[in-house]
Amino acid sequence: MRSIISLELLKNLQDRGLLFWMLLLPILFTVLFISVFTSGTEGVAREQVILSIVPGYTVMFVFFILITMIANFIKDRELGMTARIASTPLPAYKYLLGKWIPYMYIVFVQILVLLLFGKLVYDIPLEQPLSLLIVSLLLTFTVTGIGLALSLLVKTNNMGIAITQVIALGGAVLSGLWMPIDMMPSFIQSFSKFLPQYWAHQAFQQGMEGTMQTSDILLPASVLLLYGATAFTIAILRYPAFLKMARG
Amino acid sequence: MLKLNQVKKQYGKNVALRDVSLNLSSGKCYGLVGPNGAGKTTLLKIIASIIQDFHGSVEFTNSPQAYSKELIGYIPQEICLEETVTARDNLSFFGKVYGLKGQMLRTRINHVLNDIGLTEKAKHRVNTFSGGMKRRLNIGCALMHTPDLIIMDEPTVGIDPQSRRYIFSMIEKLKDEGCTIIYASHYMEEIEQLCDEAIFIDKGMVVENDRVDVLLQKYVTPSIYLKGENCIPEEKGDFSLSPRKDGYLLLTDNPIEVMQRVIIHCKNHATQPEQLELSQARLEDVFFSLTGSQLRD
């Protein structure tokens, strides 16, 4: 399994496109939207906007890793690499873990960089670093888990891009990542409770402000863990069908 | 070495393989031949354990375990390499997947690089390689763990004659080292040149399986190719005529005798053939005899 992890990391580190999608674009959007939404505001109001946008855009942009993950799996499937690896002694679950874990590293680093950017440039509070670390790890697990499941479910790259847009952008709107959830209609507020983005965003905000109690982390952690574990189970169950589609 | 017992595989209502039974011996090269859609790739995938939901059994007869993936090196038709990393990285990856590490891994990488003629290019990225180099590396990745059985699915597609010759010499070396090879190809001359036995598969069944020379004797009528005016003896006797290119094929069981008669006939009639030669028996003729010459879609 370590062989796949190191190969995948090596591949991804050489991919400059990934650097753009995962770090440069989110930073650009964060700067742009903060400057738009804070123009004419000062003091507490400005801080509140920043405190919502930095974690909100972090949560939104980590979902774009789905595109890279889907493309990578489809490439492996079409080039015959999936079939070739299936002929080796490597068990299916190790193959999936080996492909999954490098993306966990990438997304985790992405979250850290985006939060640190917020701290350095906008001086956002990071009052409960341990809580923030736990939420970051859980979000990483969830996002990449969903990416893994989708990678094995989706048939084409275009389909993958379309689904990613729906999940990332649709989830952002419905979870209050773009504007405060209190401003949304009540049915959307109810619906948002089923989305991982909502829980990650809420937990990040609480951890930043320092208002998170030990018991407060249990619900978001459970939701995020449940999403990630369900996604990995789907991936394991889907793998035989994915292998059947593989060339080679 | 490997025994396949009544292997069956269906994709929905389509039967890809029906009751395929084979017994492969150690140290031999087996050519797997058949038209498109005959079931070759399905059979190779079953042997390589890529397809696991099938009926029947696949067993190693000379191993303590009935089946072990460690004994197999699978070389797919596609070039399955990580193109953005180096040749060494690719070999290292496949070596590690088979449990090699440390000094053993490094030794094997150097050995395989030497065998596939890429020692000088070890640190170059694969996406800078020619088609032939990629093919050789594709083979090398399957040799890292020194498998007993090597499965090659059309390993010479799209490469130049030099690379093909190099790959042939690699295969000959593997045979000398005692590896068993299953070689699937549409190039009959490759099967003739490399393989000890040929397995013909059509519509999911093994339609013939024997030594290449035996098959040629069994299915191909010896013949003489003759081109020239007034060169054919009037008395046909023990040969029959079949037009071919600008001349004729004289099909006979006694080609030397018929050739002598043609020469005598030409002498007597003061003519000279433009071309007179013994036609070589070809595996392609066996292929057409067994599978017909109609297009398969």
pLDDT of residue A176: 84
Please, which residues have CB within 8 angstroms of residue B129's CB and are 6 or more apart in sequence?
B87, B121, B137
pLDDT of residue B295: 64
pLDDT of residue B293: 64
- Using an 8 Å CB-CB cutoff, list chain A residues near B50: 83, 86-87, 243, 246, 248
CB pairs under 8 A between A and B: 66
pLDDT in tens, B214-260: 888 777 777 888 998 888 888 777 888 888 778 888 888 888 888 88
Domain boundaries, chain A: 2-245
The CA-based dihedral angle spanning residues A50, A53, A55, A56, taken in that order and rounded to the nearest 10 degrees: 160
If you average pLDDT over residues A79-94, what whole number do you get?
Answer: 90
> CB B192: neighbour CB atoms within 10 A?
20
If you average pLDDT over residues B128-145, what whole number do you get?
Answer: 92
Residue of A nearest to B44 (CA): A248
Residue B286 has pLDDT above 80, yes or no: no
Give A153 to chain B, closest Cα distance, Å: 19
Q: Looking at domain B2-217, does it have CATH number 3.40.50.2300?
A: no
Assign B240 to helix, strand or coil: strand
- Using an 8 Å CB-CB cutoff, list chain B residues near A247: 76, 78
Residues A143, A242: Cα–Cα separation, whole Å: 20
Interchain pair B74, A2: CB under 8 A? no
With cut-offs at 50, 70 and 90, classify the pLDDT of residue B122: very high
pLDDT in tens, A109-135: 999 999 999 999 988 898 899 999 999
Interchain pair A87, B94: CB under 8 A? no
pLDDT of residue B62: 75
Interchain pair A87, B72: CB under 8 A? yes
pLDDT in tens, B178-221: 899 999 988 888 888 889 999 989 888 888 888 988 888 777 77
Lowest mean pLDDT, pick from B19-28, B40-49, B76-85, B218-227: B218-227
Residues B148, B71: Cα–Cα separation, whole Å: 5
Interchain pair A2, B96: CB under 8 A? yes
Chain B residues whose C-beta sits inside 8 Å of any chain A C-beta: 45, 48-50, 53, 69-70, 72, 74, 76-80, 82, 84-85, 89, 92-94, 96-99, 153
- Using an 8 Å CB-CB cutoff, list chain B residues near A7: 82, 85, 89, 93
pLDDT of residue B43: 93
- Cβ-nearest to A7 among B77, B78, B85: B85
If you average pLDDT over residues B288-294, what whole number do you get?
Answer: 72
If you average pLDDT over residues A66-83, what whole number do you get?
Answer: 91
> C-alpha A195: how far from its chain's center?
12
Q: Which two tokens stand for residue A37?
A: 């939404």
Residues B186, B153: Cα–Cα separation, whole Å: 10
pLDDT of residue B55: 92
pLDDT of residue A222: 92
For residues A22 and A172, the answer to whether their CB atoms sit within 8 Å is: no
For residues B167 and B139, the answer to whether their CB atoms sit within 8 Å is: yes
If you average pLDDT over every residue of chain B, what do you get?
A: 87
Give B92 to chain A, closest Cα distance, Å: 8
For residues A139 and A56, the answer to whether their CB atoms sit within 8 Å is: no
Give A248 to chain B, closest Cα distance, Å: 5
Please, which residues have CB within 8 angstroms of residue A149's CB and are 6 or more apart in sequence?
A230, A231, A232, A234, A235, A238
Is the complex ipTM higher than 0.90? no
For residues B193 and B284, the answer to whether their CB atoms sit within 8 Å is: no
Interchain pair B76, A84: CB under 8 A? yes
- Cβ-nearest to B78 among A80, A85, A90: A80
- Cβ-nearest to B82 among A11, A15, A247: A11
pLDDT in tens, A130-172: 999 999 999 999 999 999 999 999 999 999 999 999 999 999 9
- Out of 3.40.720, 1.10.287, 3.40.50, 3.30.70, the CATH code matching B221-280 is 3.30.70
For residues B149 and B166, the answer to whether their CB atoms sit within 8 Å is: no
Chain A residues whose C-beta sits inside 8 Å of any chain B C-beta: 2-4, 7, 10-11, 14-15, 79-81, 83-90, 240, 243, 246-248
Interchain pair B93, A7: CB under 8 A? yes
